[in-house]
Amino acid sequence: MKAFAFPLGVVLIATWSQVLLAQPAADSPRRTWKVDVIEKAGGSVVAVFCEGKDHTVNSGSGSIIHPSGYVLTNDHVVQDRKGVVLVRGQPPLPYRTVGRLWDKDLALIKIEARQPLVAVPLGRSNDVVAGEPILVGGNPGGRGIVFSSGIVSSAEVMTDMSALTMAYFPDDARDRFIQFDAASNPGNSGGPVINAEGRQIAVVVAKVLKEQDINYAIPIDRARRAMRDLLLPEQRGNFWTGIELDVATNTIAGVPENSPAAAAGLQPGDTITSLAQQPVASDVDFYVGLVGRKAGEELAVEYTRAEESHAASLTLAEYPATPGLSADGRTAGLQYRVYLGRFTRGPDVSKLKPLVEGKAPQPRLDQITGAPADDYAVVFEGYLEIPETGVWTVAVGSDDGSRVFVDGKLAANNDGPHPMQWSIGRERWQKGLHPVRIEFFEATGDEELQFALSRDGSDERLEPKFFHDTEQPAEK
């Protein structure tokens, strides 16, 4: 991301110009695969400008991933700031932030255009290989859209760990990134890495300033897994389809009993091809097609099963949010248990005997007693108070692994050995108390555990309130 000390309007006029140039002949050797890809997908690469501090303008990049105007970028590019997007052939278009996953540095913003926009096809990153050619599109220096080319230098690296350290800690659970050598500079953040097939395989996220041609990108598979959480159409719209989608294959992975999907006759393994008369070619199409729906609405669904086409009517139900409980008869704080052991993932403590038990106001390590320096786990249990019905974000930060379960379901997964990092999850909860379980294990090094609660779309972290069941005095 790049900052400029100019008024926003001046920057926009100065950085976006269009010049009509003659084109090489169709059979010219100048027409390489790079030219073809840029001509086909280049219109999906956009420049992002947003308000900064002290009348500055920050610049970044993004890619249009749906013709209706959804733009994928980095969270650090937009955060909660207002701004505009420059699209080829369009005037500056204001954007609104749809969803942010600051733990993954991903954000989804929306622009409104008068006609469908060019969208880049999303590829896969599970089969990326070192040496394959790539293009990088973006807005370096705020100069508008430019392209650079190079190769994938490595399909899987860490940004902050040496190879020697990785060899000693093979179970480390930090995110891996794609490293590439194409030119990338401040302002390229959020832009796409595109393969020779014209598909986006990564999102540019960082560069190493003290080294030459060392740039990192978020694999697109990670971004695709985050798409539901960026849009959250069902939770925000308070409706339920009952369709659990496998984003890698665009097939139905699960259909809960008594769900709308089950009533419509849908089954795991079905591939949805159309939703509400709109084609579904990817997980993005499916989730975007649900935005703005409401309970009681009927959606026409077309799908294939065993290579045969079928049609069904899907009636949306109200979202099945678990009712909250009352705080009456419960005491503030959480109960905790400490267990000894060497763990690399969240342990099953059901067969372990606790070393020590106690109560703590908050799920913090400085509020427990009797824990060793390393090789232990602690489990906090009780109830989390949700102040009002709606979509909420729970976040857990830890060094090493941690997990949060609410109403018996995994809400935030920060599992595995790693230095301090955060993981967030979002869900629709009803007002009241909800059973909560916060797990943490310490392997080696520093130890830290933090928990945060915030409203959907807000950066303001509320002080979470916890309760546990009041113990009844033993009968004499």
> Which H or E run contains 33?
helix 33-41
What tokens does 356 get?
């020590």
Distance (Å, rounded) from C-alpha 181 to C-alpha 196? 15
**What pLDDT was estimated at residue 16?**
41
β-pairing, 200-207 vs 215-219, is antiparallel
CA 187 to chain CA centroid, nearest Å: 21
Residue pair 63/71 in contact by the 8 Å Cβ criterion:
yes
**What pLDDT was estimated at residue 170?**
75
**What pLDDT was estimated at residue 475?**
57
In order along its 476 residues, the chain shows pLDDT tens digits of: 666 544 554 444 434 444 456 788 888 999 999 999 999 999 999 999 999 887 889 999 999 999 999 999 999 999 989 999 999 989 999 999 999 999 999 999 999 998 999 999 999 999 999 999 999 999 999 999 999 999 999 999 888 777 777 777 777 888 999 999 999 999 999 999 999 999 999 999 988 877 888 999 999 999 999 999 999 999 999 999 999 999 888 899 999 999 999 999 999 999 999 999 999 999 999 999 999 999 999 999 999 999 999 999 999 999 999 999 999 999 999 999 999 999 999 988 888 999 999 999 999 999 999 899 889 999 999 999 999 999 999 999 999 999 999 999 999 999 999 999 999 999 999 999 999 999 999 987 789 999 999 999 888 999 999 999 987 655 55
Kindly report the three-state secondary structure assignment for every residue of 254-303. Answer: ECCCCCHHHHCCCCCCCEEEEECCEECCCHHHHHHHHCCCCCCCEEEEEE
Residue pair 95/190 in contact by the 8 Å Cβ criterion:
no
Distance (Å, rounded) from C-alpha 329 to C-alpha 361? 17
Four-CA torsion 30, 36, 39, 43, nearest 10 degrees: -140
Nearest to 248 by CA among 287, 285, 288, 221: 221
User: What is the chain's percent helix, strand, coil content, to nearest 5?
Assistant: 15, 40, 45
DSSP 350: G
Distance (Å, rounded) from C-alpha 372 to C-alpha 339? 10
Tokens 């005095």 sit on residue = 473
Distance (Å, rounded) from C-alpha 440 to C-alpha 338? 10
**What pLDDT was estimated at residue 6?**
45
Distance (Å, rounded) from C-alpha 14 to C-alpha 143? 8
Residue pair 64/84 in contact by the 8 Å Cβ criterion:
no
**What pLDDT was estimated at residue 459?**
87
For 363-370, the CB contacts below 8 A with 24+ separation are 363/334, 363/336, 363/438, 363/440, 363/449, 363/451, 363/466, 364/449, 364/450, 364/451, 365/440, 365/447, 365/448, 365/449, 368/336, 368/338, 370/338
What tokens does 425 get?
């999850």
Distance (Å, rounded) from C-alpha 363 to C-alpha 80? 28
What tokens does 99 get?
């969803």
Write down the H helix ranges in 145-282. Answer: 163-168, 220-225, 227-231, 233-237, 260-263
Angle ∠(35,142,120) on CA atoms, nearest 5: 40
- C-alpha separations of 119 from 29, 35, 58, 316, 373 in Å: 27, 17, 24, 28, 51
Phi, psi of 43 (to 5 degrees): -70, -10
Distance (Å, rounded) from C-alpha 230 to C-alpha 228? 5
What global pTM score does this model have? 0.91
**What pLDDT was estimated at residue 474?**
53
pLDDT tens for each residue of 318-366: 999 999 999 999 999 999 999 999 999 998 888 899 999 999 999 999 9
Residue pair 84/31 in contact by the 8 Å Cβ criterion:
no
**What pLDDT was estimated at residue 10?**
45
Give exposure, 231-243, as e/b (b: 16+ Cβ within 10 Å). bbbbbbbbbbbbb
Residue pair 242/255 in contact by the 8 Å Cβ criterion:
yes
What tokens does 137 get?
């599109």
DSSP 85: E
Distance (Å, rounded) from C-alpha 262 to C-alpha 283? 20
- C-alpha separations of 358 from 200, 335, 464 in Å: 51, 6, 19
**What pLDDT was estimated at residue 457?**
86
**What pLDDT was estimated at residue 2?**
64
CA 231 to chain CA centroid, nearest Å: 10
Mean residue pLDDT of the chain comes to 91
